[in-house]
Structure 1
Amino acid sequence: MNLKRLEIQGFKSFADYLKLDINKGITAVVGPNGSGKSNIADSVRWVLGEQSPKTLRGAKMEDVIFSGTQNRKPLGFAEVSITLDNSDGKIPISYGEVTVTRRVYRSGESEYFINRTSCRLKDIHELFMDTGVGKEGYSIIGQGQIDRVLSTKPEDRRFLFEEAVGIVKYKSRKQEAEKKLELEKQNLIRVRDIILELEKQIEPLSIQAERAKQYLDIKEKLKEVELNLFIQEADLLKEELSSLEGSFSINKEELNKQKEVQTKQKEECTCLKRALEEIENKIFQTQNEILELRTSIEKTGGSNKVIQQQIEHCLLNVKRLQDECSKVDSKKRVVEDEKTQAAVKSRGLSLNLKAKKALLEEKENNFYEITHLLTSNETKIEDFKSDIIEKMNESSEIKTIIQKLTGSIEQLDNRKEQIKTEKAKNQTQYKESQIHLKALHKLQQDQELQKQKSEEQINKLTDMNHHLAHKINGETINLNNLTEKMHRYKSRQQVLNQMKKEYEGFNKSVKSILKLKQNNPKAWGGICGVVAELIQVPRGYETAIEVALGSSMQNIVTTTEEATKDAIEYLKKNQLGRATFLPHSAIRARELGNEKDSLLKEKGILGIASTLVTYDSFYNNIISYLLGRVLVVTNLDYGIALAKKYKHRYKIVTLEGDILNTGGSMTGGSIYQKSSNIFARNRELIELSHELNKLIEAIKETQRHLEDHKHLRDLNISKIEKEKEKLQEINMGLLSKTHEIKQCKELINQLEDKEKQLLIEMEQLGIQHKETSLTLIEKSNQLKEMDNEIEKIHSRIESHQLNLQEEKISKDALAEEITKLRIEISSLQQDTNHIYQDIERLEKEITTLTLEKEQREKEIKTYKEQKEEKKKEIQKNKEEIKTLDLTLEKKLEEQVSLQEAKKSKATKLDVYEGAMDKTTENVELLTQEINRIENKKIKLKLEQENLYNTIWEEYEQTYHSALKFKTDMGTVSTMKKQSIEYKNLIKGLGNINLDAISENQKVKERYQFLSEQKQDILSAEQKLYSIIKELTTSMEKQFTQNFATISDNFNEVFKELFGGGKGYLQLTDEENVLESGIEIIAQPPGKKLQNMMLLSGGEKALTAIALLFSILKMKPSPFCILDEIEAALDDANVNRFAGYLSKFDKDAQFIVITHRKGTMEAADTLYGVTMQEQGISKLLSVKLSDLQENEEAS
């Protein structure tokens, strides 16, 4: 397999179509800088699948399209085709010639072709795997790849070896397997989450399904009893209605006859009533006039009585007020006497109190003086004792010092003799070393300074990189952990969202309504949602709120009754079961009354259930209706105490799910813990959303820091390389001199230090000897003086202790006297305060009494003036009464005459009305009987209608359709008793979920299906683990074998290119060959074995070329493009490179982009790249072998 042809159009500077035929051997592409010759290598790299614009020396992929010049317009696309000979079948495709094409448009769209057939980029990668050809293979080597080989990071060199040893395909398969494994793990997490949620539902649903079956069985029996009861009751109602119809007809006929007689009697009575009414009007008018006259007379007489009473009242008030004034005067005199006595007593107490205080002050002063004297003596005694201890310690120390001083004088004499001998020997050796140091010091000084600066810079940069590497490693681990955590959270969120979308845990009827709203929100806009979805419950309260709501959790909230009606009709029409609805417009809030504040202060209460949950304010009335009168407490004990105190008026729930119902009933026991999942699921979804947002922000921040640190690390590596090269040159010149100078300096320093030490020591010895002798005499004298002082202090202590005992006795006596005086003063002070308070109170009382007397004297004057005015009013009223009496007598005579005429007409009317009353009574009795019959008929018909409606609503049966259920089941009372028994059984079952039977079956089937899926995923995981293990083993084996071969080849090629020396390759981690970095160890001729980074620039480049040839020697590439890889070599090494290149032209095909003469001379074909037109690359070709033949022939 070899490269036959390269076709380029619109790629970078190659605006026009270019066809480049590649022959066997060496093809060189030459040209001046900037002519576009490296674009040929870029075009091959691009067509083989390179996706990085940066690698292609661009900012974005559209930059590879010819961008135009001053004379040429930009092109709309770029296209490159590469044709290879596949006659040996190395490419796994059934064609003798394979053409790979890539095309890109300015719109960003890309196209790939194999033999003009459209394909994927992945297909091109797989086509060339392990052939040495590819964007990451060793078939295209540029200056960038050489830099990667020369990189200080051994891991960056693996790209060449992996392709060469043939593990790229295995590695790709392993990566695919690892991706699949990761996908399976994510699937397993999702399946496990779903299974976990299903496990939470299975047991509650099984219990609900069993209860539902019991309910249906009892319901069927109840239906049979109630339908038979309905038939019997309906028959009884029909018979009773028929009997009532006969009675109604008879009474109706009699009523009509009585009404005719009643009409005639009414007409006669009407005439008499009109005449009687006229007489009565006249009588009424006369009576009114008489009444007015009598009222005026009585009013005037009554007014006189009232006035007389007012006069008497004034006289009584005057007398009362005069008596009160006398009493006030008496009381005032008593109070003034009390005040005088209190003032006298107060003056006596004040004098006594002043005397006691003066005596107390005198005693306290004496006490403070004695206390001060006592403290002073105690302090002196303690000071004397401390002095004794201190003197004794000093005496002991002096004795020890005297012993040491005697020994020190002997040692000092011996050391003086030793120093004199050492000093003479040291001076001779010092003079010899000083002469040698001066000769070397000048040469060493300048070079040492340069070395120091270079090393400091390298160390500084290396430390920075170590710190950066630690940061990068930590950030990478952190980023992986954050990403993994984010995937787990997203997986969990997807499962919970799917369950929420499918309304897991809701009844079938509720699900159907919610899905109806979900699928058609406009048509069903009146459906707001289910209660459990409209509220959010805090963690820890889920069980309490769930039991508080009960089946109401699944109640559906609607906007209006009309929307509710539509939903109910939909359920009926589609036979989807029953559901409870809460119309927002109809529901009214239920809240606690006046006891709310006192309830919330009770011990153990956590709050009202409606206030412990959160929801949209629109649903205030709904949530208050459901939870507004429910109290939440911590435990059952608090709940019982609260229920008793408030007479079981409120529903109470505990955090564990116990219920104390209104009226006194209680519900409790163990709760299946997994049942509380709807509230928990909603809360978990909210928490997951918050956590995911935090994780995404953390990942972005970590990625930004990671990129910044990597960029800084790369810059530091470049700087380190430059400094190391500089340091290497300095070290080679200084190595021998540095060692010699160092030894000389160390010797001189040692001699100088020793001379100084000897001189100092000699001087110190003389001083010490003199000081020690003087100190010895001084300390002996001090010891005698110290003993005398100790005896004197003992005498002082005995004297002060005697004085101290006498002072303590005096102090205790004074303390007792002071205490007694303070008690007496306190008592006198309290008595004085009480007297002052009494005097102040009495003064206020005197003022109050004086004001009261003045007020009463004013009232006496007012009452006397009122009495005179009232006497004048009585005389005026007596004269008015006489006039009114005369008028009244005339009106009474007129009244008697009218009464006689009325009596005559009334007698006649009574006769007619008596007959009419009898007739009316008959009409009323008949009417009442007819009304009673009609009411009874209406009641029976209403009972009949209610009975029919009840049976229709309960069982959707009419009277005629119910007859098929008719059986002999006893009397009506027996059937009613059976009906009550069945209803009680149903009530005992509690809330029933009829959809639970089908839902239980579905959940079990889904659980079984997912369990099987889980096992399939686990099996797939194990298979993938086995595949990864097998691939890893194969790669390790193949890499180890081929790496050893490349290392041997490298040693041979290295010797040949360098003309001697040796080189080998080494893994940085032999335990992990697939991840290990690769160290290149080289020893050019005449140098020691060292790491490649310590070589010169040319030596490093030639070493990298040797590595390339060692790989080609083991596994030749079909073709190899070398882009100026020999640029750093000198002419001699270029010739060596070109000569070695020629050895491979039989087995490989080389396209060399170069500007070095030696390389051009080795080429078989030479292509020149020029820019005759600015910005447009052109190609010229010359076959050098033909040119040489023509020259020889000529």
Structure 2
Amino acid sequence: GTDGLQRLLRQFADENRNQDIINGYHGTLIENIECDPAFYTAVEVIAGNRLNYHIVDSDVVATRLVKEFNASRQRGEIHFLPLNVLDVQNNTLSNITGASPLIDQLQWVPKAERAVRHVFNRIMLCEDFNAATRTARQYDVDCVTLDGDQVQRKGALTGGYIDKKVSRLELQRSIKQLRSTLNEYEKEYEKLRSEILNTDNEYNNVMTELQREDMKSKKNWDNYEQMKSDAKHLQSELDRIVTHRPGKERQLNALIATIEQFCAKEESLQSELGSDLVSQLTMEEQSTVDRLNDTVEKITQELKEIIRKRVELEGTKTRLEHQVANNYRKNREQINTELERMHVENVRSVIEELEREYAILSDKLNEHEKQTDAIDRIINNLDKELKTKQKELEKFKNSDRDIDEHINEEKRNSDKYEVKLRNAQNKLDESTKRQNDIGVPPDGLDKYKDIPIKQLQRDLDRAIIELKKYAHVNKKALDQFLQFSDERDKLTNRKAEIDEAHRHIVDLIESLDNKRFETIQFTFKQVSLYFTEVFKRLVPEGTAHLVIKKGDNEDYDSEQVSSQSSGQQMSVDDFTGVGIKVSFNGRTNEMRDMQQLSGGQKSLVALALIFSIQKCDPAPFYLFDEIDQALDPQYRNAVADMINELSQKAQFIITTFGPDLLKYGDKFYGITYRNKVSQIRSVTREEAMEFVEDNEAQNQAAQTTTTTTTTTTA
């Protein structure tokens, strides 16, 4: 019932409903109290089953819980302690000699105070049973001792041995400790989880920063490599320009000289153009002049092209010098400064430091992951077990539903079949009735199967007309004759079978009686033979034998039984019991029955009978309780020798206060009784002999004291 109620409350919490019921429920009484382990027995005896009662704020909450409990079809019983209706008595008995209020030894949750006082008020915890009896009688209160003995104020006394190893309060304390341990593990799990998340965040931040620095360093290195390659290219271009510069300058000087020559020649030609021609040019001279003019134009064009290329080369030279002066040298200085600032060793040290931090964080992360994995495995195992149990429960529910549906289906089918069977039976009865009314025997219908129905109807009409003439005759006589004849034959055959079975049963009973008589006779002869031998060994000067009683005054020994059975004069039903005839002085005329023997002699005869049965049908072990207590001293050694001989084939467990049986023992245990508790411990043979001798000495001293006291009184 408690488990079902807890499931119901968890369901309320999960569905976020009936919060007033959840707030009004305070758990069971055992969950709300604590005390010292020394008072567990007293508290459990007083509270009893009320320890499992559920504490609620009011009877309204209890009623609603019961309705919800029944509506959800939970199993079990639940009991409540509604705080609003509990009767709490005042406790004014605080100062009593030898006793104190039991409630003073308890600690409880403040919300459950009324329930605790309702159960434990006016209960006094006493030192012993006498103090409890005196307090209950004097102050009209219920009392209890630490051992659990209870004295009620109305005079009832209850108590006895209570196993303190099985304590509900101890189990509850263990449950609380386990729950607190589980809560601590959960808190530690959450803490480790948060630490892992923080560590992951720090790790991610460090890795992000490391990647950022790595990218920055890689970018700077790429820029450095690019600038280095650009510088090499520019340097090679500059070297090439410097190398070709002298040749270009020589070409330039040659061109300038050529230009100056052409200019001088142009001036001379211009001066010649300004003067009058004195004579007309010849054809040859005219052609030469034309050729020279073409050459001048060509040379002029080449000069212009050379000047243009020179201007372009000077511009390129100026641009390259400017780029080298401004960009390359400036970037080289900046790169050198950056490289000096970010030295390779510093970068390596930073990387190594980051790698060490990464290794430390990785170790912590692995440790946290291991702990998390362990906790996750525990949670997964619990979840798997819970899911398995839920699946099994669901499987059983489905199986129950399937079985119920199958039963309902079978019921419906059986109802249908029953209706069909009734209809068929009615039709059969109606057909049989009609057939009997017609009076035609059943075996006479086969020959009419091939005749048309109309012909049969005409024949039937004629037959009915003819039958009317014999209306005064019993038409069922033939049927009845045939039926009675069949029944007579069946009964005759049945009688013959019963007679044959009766004959076999009589033979079987006779055979079983003979076997039983033979078995009893054989067993009796064996036991009687061994009994005589064992008794002769235990009492050398005595004799004993077993007898079978027949009637009140007839006794037969084993030989007489054999002779009588051979003549078929005796049966098992004639026997009324088994008796023992013994003589401790060897005189056969003084044989006595068991009723005429003393206690020690009866014990000896019983042991002889047990030993004789053991020889016939050995048992694996025998348990004897102080068998030598009532034996005379001269018979104890004989019994010990006999047990020692029989112990080769069986185990004997014996309790004794005498030394005779101890000399043949293999294992010894001492049993003491202290504080209402029996204690068992293994001892040696010497310790056992010393214990027995001390016990005999105490008994002799007690007998001597008794004898002396009796003599003085006389």
Pick 1 or 2: higher relative contact order, CA cutoff 8 A, min separation 6: 1
TM-score, normalized by length of structure 2?
0.28
TM-score for the superposition, normalised by structure 1:
0.18
